[in-house]
Amino acid sequence: MDILIEVVGWAGAALILTAYALLSLGKLMGRSRAYQLLNVIGSAGFVVNGAYHGAIPSATLNAVWLAIGGATLVRLRTPPAAAVVAIAPDAS
């Protein structure tokens, strides 16, 4: 079981670092589904690893990170509301 927890933690680290590297290199946008998924899955790995090892601050931080990424993914699935454009009356 210990080795599985370590693999999950290291995989999470690799996913989060990959997301950050791709963002920094301009290969992904911060609001892209791919970027958010890499962060959500990676932070889930850190939550599992941190909780198993009793690293409560790390597990809590990553649970919040996961929640932010998850909320962003939900918002990305929801189509944006139509923009309302106000037209000023002609002043002539």
> Where along the chain do its domains lie?
2-77
Total length of the chain: 92
The letter for the amino acid at 5 is: I
pLDDT at position 83 is 56
Instruction: Give residue 85's pLDDT.
Output: 65
The C-alpha angle 3, 4, 6, rounded to 5 degrees, equals 65
Q: Where is pLDDT greater, at 5 or 83?
A: 5
Confidence category of residue 79, pLDDT binned at 50, 70, 90: confident
Asked whether 41 and 17 are in contact (CB, 8 A), the reply is: no
Rounded to an integer, the average pLDDT of 68-88 is 81
- Do 38 and 25 form a contact (C-beta atoms < 8 A)? no
The pTM score is 0.81
Residue 87's pLDDT is 74
